Amino acid sequence: MKKTVGSLYAGVGGICMGFKNAGFELEWANEFDKNACTTYKNNFKHNLIEGDVMALDVTALEKINILTAGFPCQPFSVAGYRKGFEDSRGNHFFKILDFVDEMRPNVIFLENVKNLKGHDKGNTIKVIESEIRKRNYTFDSAVLNTKDFGNIPHNRERIFIVAFDKDYIKDDKFEFHFPEKEDLTKSIKDLITKEKVDEKFYYHEDKYMYDMLRESITNKDRIYQFRRQYVRENKSSVCPTLTANMGTGGHNVPLITTDFGFRKLTPRECFRFQGFPDDFKLPAISNSHLYKQAGNSVSMPVIQRLASEIYKVLEKVEAKKTKKAKEKA
């Protein structure tokens, strides 16, 4: 069986790269943000459909075995939900279900912020699980932290949902296992550029907060955040959660100190803290867009470990099907 992937809300391709590294074949992807599309096309050669997912014609796309989506979290109107899908047409999760209904993938893989669990007083995740199970899929979810499951010193918790088509697995003893927690062996220093970077990333005496930063940012093993009236030190020796707000300007990018002075993390370093290798190409677009993309992305090594577990299940299912076919023959 070809293990093909279709990716919705693909961003710069963190989910795609994780699945590709785990042995899957990327068939197509969709992304709305034009700058994220630029970065994506610099790194992948398969079909990228640029534009609003709501405008996509599901029937026109190649059917795939695995559907992935790092989708926006929206509340469901309970009253509207009970009336049926007509009141939920603008919701991204229900658009994903259109793909599920049309393509019937063997696996659904969803990623979202940790707060999805409590979103809309718990109603959102209940609806998601109900709708997936209603379509005769399994449902497993877990919150994983990048520092515990990706061997990257980055405190980033995300919820992952994995669902298998029961018609495909046809096995009462089937179980999907999330990856085991692993020791963190990489440090902040391992991801920081050793040489001097472009001068624009450094804070000099012309900055009004210079004296405060000089007094506070002293440990090369720590990452700091400027919070208007004070500097926050992340004492856990990992990077605080990177956010899309890094791209909005101001002082939202985390700070470090090096032999050359104290400065912001560079976009390349932010991508490293998301687990992207240095051969991942960053296009010649503004740093604000690159910061936003890094903050919006998934932690690629966590995706790769999850994808590897999914791959194992698919291999076992196919082996059983082959064995049964031989026995019948």
- Provide the H-helix boundaries in the chain: 14-21, 34-41, 78-83, 92-103, 123-134, 146-149, 166-169, 188-191, 210-216, 267-272, 287-296, 300-328
- Please name the residues in contact with 206: beta carbons below 8 A apart, sequence gap of 6 or more: none
Quick one: tokens of 29?
């992807």
Count CB atoms within 10 A of the CB of residue 303. Answer: 30
Note whether 24 and 13 are within 8 A (CB): no
* DSSP string covering 162-183: EEEBHHHH--TT----PPPP--
Q: Which of 132, 161, 127 is nearest to 144 (CA)?
A: 161
Quick one: tokens of 328?
């019948």
Note whether 305 and 149 are within 8 A (CB): yes
Active-site annotation holder among 16, 37, 73, 270: 73
Residue 124 pairs in a beta bridge with: none
Question: What is the distance between the alpha carbons of residues 323 and 329, in angstroms, rounded to a whole number?
Answer: 10
Active-site residue 73, yes or no? yes
Active-site residue list: 73
